[in-house]
Amino acid sequence: MKQTEFLNIVLPFKDKLFRMAKRLLVSTEEAEDATQEILIKLWSKKSKMESYKNVEAFAMTMTKNFCLDRLKSKQAGNLKLVHSNYTDSSTSLQGQLEAKDSINWVERIMAELPEQQKMVLQLRDVEQYEYEEIEKLLDMKPTAIRVTLSRARKTVREKLMEKHNYGIA
Amino acid sequence: MELHNIEKLIEKYFDATTTVAEEETLRTYFSGDEIAPHLEQHAPLFNYFKKAKEERFTKQVPLKPRKNYLKWVSVAAIAVFMVGLYFYQPTSVPETLADEYTPEEIESAKEALALLAMNFNKGTEQLNHLEEFEKTTNKFLTKNN
């Protein structure tokens, strides 16, 4: 397989891998490194790639596992500390900025969710995967996915309301 | 889209029973300008998802066939070894004198050695007189004792 061929296969979903990595690792640099690592791993397995039914799903599972391993390791523990410092709680006066702010709130709220909920929410609401695909990617039962997703969505809603009310008061 | 319908979809959304298409309807609704005031609280959520999907991976990935390179290293090593083997000449130790010297050289060496032996014997012959002297002195000494 040539490099261009490989890139044509990988190109449609590389951003999805990156967004998934960023959802889990929070830091952009970490997510970039993780995505790069995954793509290099895929490249080294390129001879086997034709036999995979769904390269995207395979790559997504790889990314998920890689990032979870990463979070377990000590290295990532340090990074986590660094990136929780960055929360900027300055409240803007202008309505426009406020609206933009509350969009950023969602990101912060999502960062506080348990990993399982993060992943389901990311796959469903950001990437719009079907439930069957999420089942395979996360190795979860359909009911478990729905419960997790519902819980995640409700948590985000509640936290968002809390922040909103706090902002007004 | 009717307001009633949207409200219903939102309810379904939080129970995680909406389809992908229905969720898309919600996203379109909340990205529009005409959002009902009592639903506005949900807008950041759906707008965030839309924004989050726009993020791109821009880093270049170095895809180099590293394995091939390593394969050639071993080939090069073997080539160097073979060249070394080809130019390697063991410094042979000569087994007999005949291998190292010409017959003339050996002959002259023999002659020189013979000459040395002859002269050496000449010297030792002279020592026979001393032996004689020793005998007589011994006789003298034993008498004295």
Q: Is residue A104 within 8 Å of residue A90, measured between CB atoms?
A: no
Model confidence at B139: pLDDT above 80: no
Give the pLDDT confidence score for residue A88 in this predicted structure. 47
Task: Please provide the average confidence, as pLDDT, over all residues in chain B.
Answer: 84
Q: Output the CA angle A87-A93-A98, nearest 5 degrees.
A: 55
Residue corresponding to tokens 């902002």: A167
Which token pair is A81?
Answer: 């500390």
Q: Give me the helices (H) in B1-145, please.
A: 3-14, 20-31, 43-52, 66-87, 97-100, 103-144
Which token pair is B96?
Answer: 């007999």
Q: How far is B4 from chain A (nearest CA, A)?
A: 20
CB contact under 8 A, B63 and A3: yes
| Interface mutation vs chain A, best among B11, B46, B54, B63, most A CBs within 10 Å | B63
ipTM of this complex prediction, to 2 decimal places: 0.77
Model confidence at B66: pLDDT above 60: no
Q: Count Cβ–Cβ pairs < 8 Å, chain A vs chain B.
A: 75
Which token pair is B10?
Answer: 């939102």
Nearest CA in chain B to A23: B52
Give the pLDDT confidence score for residue A75 in this predicted structure. 58
Give the pLDDT confidence score for residue A95 in this predicted structure. 56
Give the pLDDT confidence score for residue A96 in this predicted structure. 57
| Interface mutation vs chain A, best among B59, B67, B69, B70, most A CBs within 10 Å | B59
Give the pLDDT confidence score for residue A98 in this predicted structure. 64
Which residue segments constitute the domains of chain A, with CATH numbers given? 1-86 (1.10.1740.10), 90-169 (1.10.10.10)
CB contact under 8 A, B44 and A102: yes
At residue B26 the predicted structure's pLDDT band, cuts being 50, 70 and 90, is very high
Which token pair is A145?
Answer: 């996915």
Give the pLDDT confidence score for residue B21 in this predicted structure. 93
Nearest CA in chain A to B50: A126
The CA-atom distances, in angstroms, between A100 and each of A110, A122, B83 are 16, 20, 71
Model confidence at B102: pLDDT above 80: yes
Give the pLDDT confidence score for residue B103 in this predicted structure. 86
Q: Is residue A70 within 8 Å of residue A38, measured between CB atoms?
A: no
Residues of chain A under the 70 pLDDT cut: 1, 74-100, 167-169
Give the pLDDT confidence score for residue A85 in this predicted structure. 44
Give the pLDDT confidence score for residue A90 in this predicted structure. 45
Q: How far is B74 from chain A (nearest CA, A)?
A: 20
What is the C-alpha separation between A120 and A129, in angstroms, rounded? 9
CB contact under 8 A, A146 and B17: yes
Q: How far is B1 from chain A (nearest CA, A)?
A: 21
Q: Kindly list the residues of chain A whose beta carbon comes within 8 Å of any beta carbon in chain B.
A: 3, 6, 14-15, 17-19, 22, 32, 35-36, 39-40, 43-44, 99, 102-107, 124-128, 130, 145-147, 149-150, 153-154, 156-157, 160-161, 164
Q: Is residue A128 within 8 Å of residue A81, measured between CB atoms?
A: no
Which token pair is A134?
Answer: 């999420």
B14 — contact with chain A (CB < 8 Å)?
yes
B69 — contact with chain A (CB < 8 Å)?
no
What is the C-alpha separation between A160 and A102, in angstroms, rounded? 8
CB contact under 8 A, A128 and B23: yes
Give the pLDDT confidence score for residue A92 in this predicted structure. 40
| pTM score over 0.90 | no
CB contact under 8 A, A107 and B48: yes
Model confidence at B63: pLDDT above 90: no
Q: Is residue A92 within 8 Å of residue A101, measured between CB atoms?
A: yes
Q: How far is A134 from chain B (nearest CA, A)?
A: 13
Give the pLDDT confidence score for residue A89 in this predicted structure. 45
